[in-house]
């Protein structure tokens, strides 16, 4: 049975040499890069905005318990209910109880990484409940039986022709190259789901502590329909998504949209303060917010790693990462891919199982340079690597190679007594074990060591 690390290496190599895959990803990311570059021109002091956002998020994390209780008090005061879920199973159990109480047969679900994290669709399907993704990208990958490829753009890896083929295969429509017609097909099918679904599920981009609101940002309006048509609205949100008050959205909404898609602000921005109030004509009869921990307090308890919880899921770090651009999102086999996924997944799901992700980085620092909340991502990757080695999760061959190298550096005489070819053979053997020479030329040991050169220079 392949380990996750071995499967990752195999998939990464396959994707890296799949030229068509790389063409699609570079084309799509290239469009985002151009849009983001233009969007940044709208800022007069972008660096100041980043610093303020980082400061606010850091302050929230320092007093997260207080802000969570403040949010709960404000939200429940308007008739909402808050459920605290320590792990994925507790969150799923609550969703199961809520859907069963409503005798739900259909659930409409807006794009949400937290629901992907706990595998809501699979859980509901096992209980005989249809769970329909309403975000167009999520709907496409759901039809195709795939996970989202990207935090912001779930179907980034698919071309228009790919999507047309998926619709022909799964929806039985006539083949068309008209993107507008494909969108209208999905829209027509989803409209009936909104009106028939008993339950709507969303995530939340931000939790507003003071006013007790759940802020959702989107470009299609599907989250609004998912939250307002069904009689029950469930929002599954990570405990780290808090911001202090409503007015802070004027900082975070533009940062999120500009960093992720280049927009000044996304098309739809909604704040949900609870169920329908007396005198209000629409909205759900009941609203429940599930506050999801699922390993987040593991990071919170570590001051040197805590900043990873500032993440606002803009996807900017994925778009600039040279590794992500070459191996793609599915290779990571985690809910969160790219640099931020490599940082947080080992802490959310276990270091031993996911430690290899932190080594899948060039440490170029591009991710850190674009992060709108100034997460020092490449440094956190290094800390993960350090922890992985200190806990002994690195491969036996790597331990042997490093051990021999360390011994030889401390006992240089042992290398000096070996003839040149034997030195080359020994070095080549170690590199072969590490996979170095698979696609690289062999390294050769210099004829004279640095010590010999130094001695010759200073004796003359």
Asked whether residue 384 is assigned to any structural domain, the reply reads no
CA of residue 186 relative to chain centroid, distance: 26
Please give the Cα distance from 279 to 128 (Å, whole number). 36
Please give the Cα distance from 90 to 93 (Å, whole number). 5
Mark whether 66 and 202 lie in a shared domain. Answer: yes
Q: What is the pLDDT along the chain (460 residues), one digit of tens a residue?
A: 568 888 998 999 999 999 999 999 999 999 999 999 999 999 999 999 999 999 999 999 999 999 999 999 999 999 999 999 999 999 999 999 999 999 999 999 999 999 999 999 999 999 999 999 999 999 999 999 999 999 999 999 999 999 999 999 999 999 998 999 999 999 999 999 999 999 999 999 999 999 999 999 999 999 999 999 999 999 999 999 999 999 999 999 999 999 999 999 999 999 999 999 999 988 999 999 999 999 999 999 999 999 999 999 999 999 999 999 999 999 999 999 999 999 999 999 888 889 999 999 999 999 999 999 999 999 999 999 999 989 988 778 778 777 877 887 787 777 777 666 677 677 676 666 666 677 777 777 777 777 778 888 888 6
Please give the Cα distance from 131 to 233 (Å, whole number). 14
Please give the Cα distance from 208 to 437 (Å, whole number). 53
Laid out side by side, the sheet with 242-243 consists of 242-243, 206-208, 213-218, 268-272
Asked whether residue 313 is assigned to any structural domain, the reply reads no
pTM: 0.91
Residue 19's SS3 state is helix
Strand-pair category, 206-208 with 130-133:
unpaired
Token reading at 307:
């900043």
CA of residue 103 relative to chain centroid, distance: 33
- Quote the crossing angle between the two packed helices 179-196 and 136-143, to the nearest 10°: 90
Asked whether residue 120 is assigned to any structural domain, the reply reads yes
Asked whether residue 367 is assigned to any structural domain, the reply reads no
Cβ neighbours of residue 140 closer than 8 Å, sequence gap 6 or more: 154, 155, 158, 163, 166, 186
Number of domains in the chain: 2
Strand partners, 268: 218
Mark whether 162 and 287 lie in a shared domain. Answer: yes
Q: Are 439 and 419 in contact (CB under 8 A)?
A: no
Query: Which of 93, 71, 92, 90 lies closest to 82 in space, CA to CA?
Result: 71
Residue 329's SS3 state is coil
Asked whether residue 131 is assigned to any structural domain, the reply reads yes
DSSP 8-class letter at 276: P
Mark whether 271 and 410 lie in a shared domain. Answer: no
Query: Which of 432, 435, 331 lies closest to 17 in space, CA to CA?
Result: 331
**Whole domain around residue 152: which residue ranges?**
42-294
Mark whether 140 and 275 lie in a shared domain. Answer: yes
Q: Domain ends where: 294, 311, 339?
A: 294
Please give the Cα distance from 371 to 366 (Å, whole number). 9
Q: Domain ends where: 238, 263, 294?
A: 294
Please give the Cα distance from 223 to 169 (Å, whole number). 26
Asked whether residue 4 is assigned to any structural domain, the reply reads no
Side-chain-facing half-sphere of 449: CA atoms under 13 Å? 16
Mark whether 281 and 427 lie in a shared domain. Answer: no
Q: Are 236 and 118 in contact (CB under 8 A)?
A: yes
CA distances from 254 to 259, 265, 371 (A): 8, 5, 14
Query: Which of 71, 26, 55 lies closest to 238 in space, CA to CA?
Result: 71
Please give the Cα distance from 91 to 260 (Å, whole number). 28
Laid out side by side, the sheet with 106-109 consists of 81-85, 286-292, 232-238, 199-202, 106-109, 130-133
Question: What local confidence, expressed as pLDDT, does residue 128 receive?
Answer: 97
Asked whether residue 152 is assigned to any structural domain, the reply reads yes
Query: How many residues are present in the chain?
Result: 460
Place of tokens 């209780």: 69
Place of tokens 């080695």: 389
Side-chain-facing half-sphere of 303: CA atoms under 13 Å? 3
CA of residue 372 relative to chain centroid, distance: 15
Asked whether residue 54 is assigned to any structural domain, the reply reads yes
Q: Domain ends where: 232, 259, 294?
A: 294
Q: Output the domain CATH number for residue 146.
A: 3.40.50.10420
Mark whether 424 and 283 lie in a shared domain. Answer: no
């Amino acid at each position: 049975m392949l380990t996750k690390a071995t499967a990752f290496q195999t998939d990464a190599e396959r994707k890296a040499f799949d030229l068509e895959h790389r063409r699609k990803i570079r084309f799509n990311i290239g469009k985002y890069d151009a849009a983001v570059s233009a969007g940044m021109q709208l800022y007069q002091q972008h660096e100041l905005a980043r610093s303020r956002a980082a400061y606010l998020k850091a302050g929230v994390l320092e007093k997260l318990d207080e802000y969570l209780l403040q949010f709960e008090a404000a939200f429940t005061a308007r008739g909402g209910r808050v459920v605290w879920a320590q792990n994925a199973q507790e969150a799923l159990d609550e969703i199961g109880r809520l859907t069963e109480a409503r005798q739900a047969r259909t659930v409409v679900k807006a794009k949400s990484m937290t629901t992907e994290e706990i595998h809501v669709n699979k859980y509901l399907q096992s209980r005989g409940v249809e769970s329909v993704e309403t975000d167009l990208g999520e709907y496409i990958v759901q039809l195709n039986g795939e996970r989202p490829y990207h935090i912001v753009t779930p179907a980034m890896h698919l071309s228009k022709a790919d999507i047309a083929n998926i619709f022909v295969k799964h929806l039985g429509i006539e083949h068309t190259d008209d993107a507008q017609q494909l969108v209208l097909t999905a829209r027509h099918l989803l409209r009936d789901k909104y009106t028939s679904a008993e339950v709507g599920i969303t995530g939340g981009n931000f939790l507003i502590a003071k006013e007790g609101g759940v802020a959702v940002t989107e470009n299609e309006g599907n989250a609004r329909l998912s939250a307002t048509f069904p009689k029950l609205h469930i929002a599954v949100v990570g405990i780290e998504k808090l911001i202090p008050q409503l007015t802070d959205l004027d900082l975070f909404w533009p940062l999120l949209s500009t960093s992720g898609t280049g927009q000044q602000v996304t098309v739809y921005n909604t704040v949900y303060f609870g169920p329908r109030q007396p005198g209000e004509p629409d909205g759900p009869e009941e609203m429940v917010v599930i506050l999801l921990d699922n390993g987040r307090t593991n990071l919170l308890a570590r001051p040197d790693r805590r900043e990873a919880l500032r993440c606002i899921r803009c996807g900017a770090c994925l778009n600039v990462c040279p590794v992500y651009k070459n191996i793609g999102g599915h290779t990571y086999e985690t809910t969160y891919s790219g640099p931020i996924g490599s940082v947080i997944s080992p802490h959310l799901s276990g270091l031993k199982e996911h430690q290899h992700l932190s080594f899948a980085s060039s440490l170029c620092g591009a991710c850190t340079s674009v992060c709108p909340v100034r997460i020092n991502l490449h440094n956190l990757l290094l800390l993960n690597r350090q922890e992985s080695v200190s806990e002994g999760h690195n491969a036996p061959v790597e331990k042997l190679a490093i051990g021999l190298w360390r011994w030889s550096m401390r006992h240089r005489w042992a290398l000096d007594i070996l003839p040149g070819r034997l030195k080359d053979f020994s070095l080549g053997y170690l590199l072969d074990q590490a996979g170095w020479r698979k696609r690289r030329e062999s390294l050769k040991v210099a004829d004279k060591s640095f010590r010999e050169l130094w001695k010759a220079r200073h004796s003359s």
